[in-house]
Amino acid sequence: MDSTLTQAINCGFGWFIVVLAIAGYFLTVRRMGEKWAFWLVLAIGWGFFALANTLLTAGVEAARPVIIGIWFSSFVLVVMSMAMLFIKLAQIKRHPR
C-alpha cells in the first residue's frame, strides 16, 4: 500500500474519531447532565494525530521533527484520556446514584 494512501486513510480516520469524541461529549452532557473532560482530551489527542497525518499527506517533510512531536503528543493525550475514563468509571462504581 502506498504510504501517501496510508497517511490519507489515517488522516480521515483521525478526523472521524475527533467528530465522534465531540459528539460523545455533547451526548454525555445531554443524557447524564455531566461534562466529562475525558471526551475533550480524547478529541484533542486524536486531533493531534489527524493533524500530523494531514501534514504528512500534504507533503510537509521539512518539519519532520515537529510532526513527530505532534504525533507523540497525540499518543500521550489519548492514553491520558483513557486513564481519566477509568478514574471516572471507578468513581461512578464507588458512588452510584
Domain boundaries, the chain: 3-94
pLDDT in tens, 39-73: 999 999 999 999 998 988 888 777 788 888 999 99
- In the predicted model, is pLDDT for residue 2 greater than 80? no
Q: Give DSSP secondary structure letters for 15-35.
A: HHHHHHHHHHHHHHHHHHS--
Residue 26 to residue 24: CA distance in whole angstroms:
6
pLDDT in tens, 3-16: 888 888 989 999 99
- In the predicted model, is pLDDT for residue 97 greater than 70? no
Cell of 77: 493525550
pTM for this predicted structure: 0.87
